[in-house]
Amino acid sequence: MLIKNLTNMCVGESAQVALLLNKGSIRTRLEDLGLIPGTRIHCIHKSPYGDPVAYEIRGAVIALRSDDAKGVLLNNND
Amino acid sequence: MIKLNDSERIIALAGNPNVGKSTVFNYLTGMKQHTGNWAGKTVVNARGRYCFNNRDYILVDLPGTYSITAHSAEEEVARDFILNGGADATIVVCDATCLERNLNLVMQIMEITPNAIVCANLLDEAEKKSITIDIQALEKELGIPVVGTSARSGKGLTELMKRVEEVCAGTGARLTETAPLLNTSEIRWKNAERIASKVCIGCKTCSGCGKCGTSSVLNKRDRKLDKILTSRLTGIPIMLALLCIVFWITVTGAQYPSDLLFKVLFWVGDRLAALLHWFNVPEWFNELIIMGVYRVLAWVVAVMLPPMAIFFPLFTLLEDFGYLPRVAFNLDHHFKKAKACGKQALTMCMGFGCNAAGVTGCRIIDSPRERLIAIITNNFVICNGRFPTLIAIISMFFVGMAGGVFDTLLSALILTGVIILGVILTFLISRLLSETILKGEPSSFTLELPPYRTPQIGRVIVRSVFDRTLFVLGRAVAVAVPAGLVIWLLANIKAGDISLLNHCSSFIDPFARIFGLDGVILLAFILGFPANEIVFPIIIMSYMSAGSILEIESLTELRALLTNNGWTWVTAVSTMMFCLCHWPCSTACLTIKKETGGVKWVGVSMLVPTVTGLIICFIFTTAVRLSGLI
């Protein structure tokens, strides 16, 4: 079974965070934004070149580059 | 600002970005700190005072952060101040429309200080979204005072001051123990979810309430706007169009007031000269004051004031609306390619006003390498000190001076072109720096796209005119007066038959001609180091000292003065290019030294744009000469 990460999400989709693989300061930063296992995240829209992508995390719209979004794994069950 | 006496209390103001912290600060202190709708607006601790019940309070506005676990410079500043800065109490401003997200910071702050007060702000916006916050329940859950406010209208702020007084006096609710950042973020968030689900009624954005599966569209209007402003098809074209429209309105709107100011100020100058004459003031002194100091001053005011008074409010409107982070979102792809940070776009936007402000703004970039890149390349953004020079050259040499709709539109288009060239150079030079002296890979970052807000038009205009326009003009005038004096002396003290100014300019003339400039222009840029605003007045004065024209009352006469001194369209283009790319002004250089902590990076920041400018001018001039166009 393929494990999905944030970059696999289509615009309009929503999913639940399973695990963060990011290391270092970006991990803390994502956690500070409320991105922890169990958090629901929505893919809102893509920038003109497709990267970065804006996600809704706990009511805030946050743009992430694909390099960072790759590390956020999602639950497969929805 | 330090304590005047022991009875004063120091209050820290913390909170996530975009929760109205600056609005609370301004309302309480009556200060006019500029507020903007994007994360990172407050990069320095602003301080202000307010008085409540005969006691003075010093309010310190900390940078907006999501956390104080200190992985960036601004978060470290915030944490250190709350912990060691001697704050008697800390107000944590929260956004009532998404309380859960804000509770993480509240809990972190509660872990390091017992004297915290929560200010649940933006209650008016929450009401619009049918969200109610049970303030009492929240207070009970947290164990610290909670005050509901709408800072824009000032609602609840008296209550806030009262609760702050209680906490400082030790009579308010306070925590009995703190646990210095011991909790993991998972524990804090679970706690936040639990509390938010209890106290927020009608909120659909928190994950605790279990309704979030249905909230994929958080704010329909915002998402629609984002679709238009950041989509593949329309994102970039709209951005360029907006830039062009802003310039068009600026150029068109500034034309008539500028002409009028010229006429009025020069008429006043003539009367002043007559008056001095009547008082039998020595002729040389009369000339020094009127031709030297007054004329430079009049030029700076007439040429700078109208465009700035139009440009700043327009730009501030876009800023308040929340458009700037979208620009960063649209352009990030290019910054990533240049191995730089997407937030560099925000620092560039600040550079439009003043490069020194842009350099200070680079603090929002966490990676030291990417911050240096942003600082070094900030000068490729035309600051308002350079706009008037460009606009004047464009309207004299490339657009008819009749000033019709098409003329001004063409001016705006050319100006936009110059800005775009500056942006392209920023990408190229950033890339070059990333490959050479600042080698490295792009680091991780998050960019918040705040909700769009309807700008408060009246306040924006008043603010931007008084705070930015007059401030910048004041600085320009302060530099113009001594500079006018020195330059007039240089132009009129003769060594042999030729003035000192002409000696200098003819000395560097052969060198300058290689780049399509002449000695006078290059000397003007060198003497304009204190402030870019005075570059053009220096050029005029140098030419006038040669005695061709004595009265400059309009752009037509100015053009005649320039062409009489050998200006062609090639000179005009080269001057514009060199105006875009040369060393930063003295203020910007001092700021760079302060921000980078060393002379080395000031040197790099001066060399990089200068060399770039010389190369561009050389290639352009040589190409034109070889092709036989002149």
pLDDT digits (tens, 9 = 90+) for A7-52: 999 998 899 999 899 888 888 889 888 898 989 899 998 999 988 9
For residues B342-347, average pLDDT: 93
Q: Do A48 and B230 touch (CB under 8 A)?
A: yes
Cα nearest neighbour of A14 on chain B: B216
Confidence of residue B398 (pLDDT cuts 50, 70, 90): confident
Cβ-contact B570, B616 below 8 angstroms: no
Q: Do A61 and B236 touch (CB under 8 A)?
A: no
Q: Does B105 score more than 50 pLDDT?
A: yes
In angstroms, what separates the C-alpha of A32 from chain B's closest C-alpha?
A: 6
Confidence of residue B214 (pLDDT cuts 50, 70, 90): very low
Q: Does B377 score more than 90 pLDDT?
A: yes
Tell me how far apart the alpha carbons of residues B330 and B336 are, in angstroms, rounded to a whole number.
12
Q: Does B207 score more than 60 pLDDT?
A: no
Q: Do B444 and A65 touch (CB under 8 A)?
A: yes
Residues of chain A positioned with their CB less than 8 A from the CB of B100: 34, 58-59
DSSP B407-456: HHHHHHHHHHHHHHHHHHHHHHHHHHHHHTTT--PPPP-EEE-PPP----
Q: Do B329 and A47 touch (CB under 8 A)?
A: yes
Residues of chain B positioned with their CB less than 8 A from the CB of A48: 230-232, 235-236, 330, 333
**Least confidently predicted of B69-73, B97-101, B106-110, B202-206:** B202-206
In angstroms, what separates the C-alpha of A78 from chain B's closest C-alpha?
A: 11
Q: Do B231 and A52 touch (CB under 8 A)?
A: no
Residues of chain B positioned with their CB less than 8 A from the CB of A11: none
Q: Do B449 and A62 touch (CB under 8 A)?
A: yes
Length of chain B: 630
Extract the tokens encoding B194.
């639990």
In angstroms, what separates the C-alpha of A2 from chain B's closest C-alpha?
A: 23
For residue B353, count CB atoms less than 10 angstroms from its CB and return exposed for 0-12, middle for 13-18, buried for 19 or more. Answer: buried
Cα nearest neighbour of A26 on chain B: B444
Q: Do B213 and A51 touch (CB under 8 A)?
A: no
Tell me how far apart the alpha carbons of residues B441 and B243 are, in angstroms, rounded to a whole number.
31
pLDDT digits (tens, 9 = 90+) for A50-62: 889 999 988 888 9
pLDDT digits (tens, 9 = 90+) for B230-249: 988 899 999 999 999 999 99
Residues of chain B positioned with their CB less than 8 A from the CB of A47: 230, 235, 329-330, 332-333
Determine the distance from the C-alpha atom of residue B322 to the mean position of all C-alpha atoms in its chain, rounded to a whole number: 15
Percentage of chain B with pLDDT > 70?
Answer: 89
Q: Which of B54, B50, B3 is nearest to B25 (CA)?
A: B50
Tell me how far apart the alpha carbons of residues B325 and B450 are, in angstroms, rounded to a whole number.
8
CB half-sphere exposure, B58, CA atoms < 13 A:
18
pLDDT digits (tens, 9 = 90+) for B288-309: 888 778 888 888 888 788 888 8
Q: Compute the CA torsion angle B474, B477, B482, B486 (nearest 10 deg).
A: 150
Three-state DSSP at B147 gives strand
pLDDT of residue B547: 47
- The amino acid that residue A8 corresponds to is N
pLDDT of residue B38: 56
CB half-sphere exposure, B575, CA atoms < 13 A:
31
Cα nearest neighbour of B187 on chain A: A36
Tell me how far apart the alpha carbons of residues B36 and B26 are, in angstroms, rounded to a whole number.
13
pLDDT of residue A77: 65
Tell me how far apart the alpha carbons of residues B393 and B571 are, in angstroms, rounded to a whole number.
10
pLDDT of residue B613: 96
A–B CB contacts, 8 A cutoff, strictly below: 138
> B467: which residues sit within 8 A by CB, 6+ positions away?
B32, B34
Element (H, E) at B571: helix B569-580
In angstroms, what separates the C-alpha of B441 from chain A's closest C-alpha?
A: 11
Confidence of residue B33 (pLDDT cuts 50, 70, 90): low
Cα nearest neighbour of B233 on chain A: A48
Q: Do B66 and A44 touch (CB under 8 A)?
A: no
First to last CA, chain B: 60
pLDDT of residue B83: 80
Q: Do B447 and A22 touch (CB under 8 A)?
A: no
Three-state DSSP at B625 gives helix
In angstroms, what separates the C-alpha of B12 from chain A's closest C-alpha?
A: 21
Cβ-contact B100, B193 below 8 angstroms: yes
Q: Do A63 and B446 touch (CB under 8 A)?
A: yes
Mutate to test the interface with A, among B108, B111, B207 (most CBs of A within 10 A): B207
pLDDT digits (tens, 9 = 90+) for B133-182: 899 999 998 989 999 999 888 899 999 999 999 988 887 666 666 666 66
Q: Which of B574, B559, B321 is nearest to B457 (CA)?
A: B321
Q: Which of B41, B33, B34, B47 is nearest to B17 (CA)?
A: B41
Q: Do A49 and B232 touch (CB under 8 A)?
A: yes
Length of chain A: 78
Phi–psi pair at B483, nearest 5 degrees: -65, -40
Q: Do A47 and B332 touch (CB under 8 A)?
A: yes
> B138: which residues sit within 8 A by CB, 6+ positions away?
B99, B118, B120, B146, B195, B199
First to last CA, chain A: 14
Residues of chain B positioned with their CB less than 8 A from the CB of A26: 444-446
- Helices marked H in B341-404: 344-353, 355-361, 368-377, 387-397
Q: Does B480 score more than 50 pLDDT?
A: yes
Extract the tokens encoding A31.
């956690």
Largest Cα–Cα distance in chain A?
31
Tell me how far apart the alpha carbons of residues B415 and B240 are, in angstroms, rounded to a whole number.
11
Q: Do A52 and B71 touch (CB under 8 A)?
A: no
Beta strands in B82-177 (DSSP E): 89-95, 116-121, 132-133, 146-148
In angstroms, what separates the C-alpha of B24 from chain A's closest C-alpha?
A: 21
Tell me how far apart the alpha carbons of residues B606 and B26 are, in angstroms, rounded to a whole number.
37
pLDDT digits (tens, 9 = 90+) for B550-609: 555 667 788 888 998 899 999 999 999 999 999 999 889 999 999 998 899 999 999 999
CA angle B538, B540, B542 (to 5 degrees): 65
Which ipTM was obtained for this model? 0.94
Identify which of A14, A58, A64 has the shortest CB distance to residue B446.
A64
Confidence of residue B546 (pLDDT cuts 50, 70, 90): low
Residue A58 region, left (φ>0) first, then alpha (ψ -120 to 50), else beta?
left
Tell me how far apart the alpha carbons of residues B545 and B552 are, in angstroms, rounded to a whole number.
13
In angstroms, what separates the C-alpha of B237 from chain A's closest C-alpha?
A: 10
Residues in chain A whose beta carbon is closer than 8 A to a beta carbon of chain B? 12, 14, 22, 24-26, 28-34, 36-40, 42, 44-52, 54, 56, 58-65, 67-68
Strand partners for B493 = none
Tell me how far apart the alpha carbons of residues B534 and B488 are, in angstroms, rounded to a whole number.
13
Identify which of B71, B207, B342 has the shortest CB distance to residue A52.
B342
Cα nearest neighbour of A59 on chain B: B205
Question: H/E/C letters for each residue in B192-240?
Answer: HHHHHHHHEECCCCCCCCCCHHHCCCCCHHHHHHHHHHHCCCCHHHHHH
pLDDT of residue B211: 42
Identify which of B189, B213, B235 has the shortest CB distance to residue A14.
B213
pLDDT of residue B297: 84
Residues of chain A positioned with their CB less than 8 A from the CB of B332: 47, 51-52, 63, 65
Q: Do B218 and A29 touch (CB under 8 A)?
A: no
Identify which of A29, A42, A45 has the shortest CB distance to residue B226.
A45
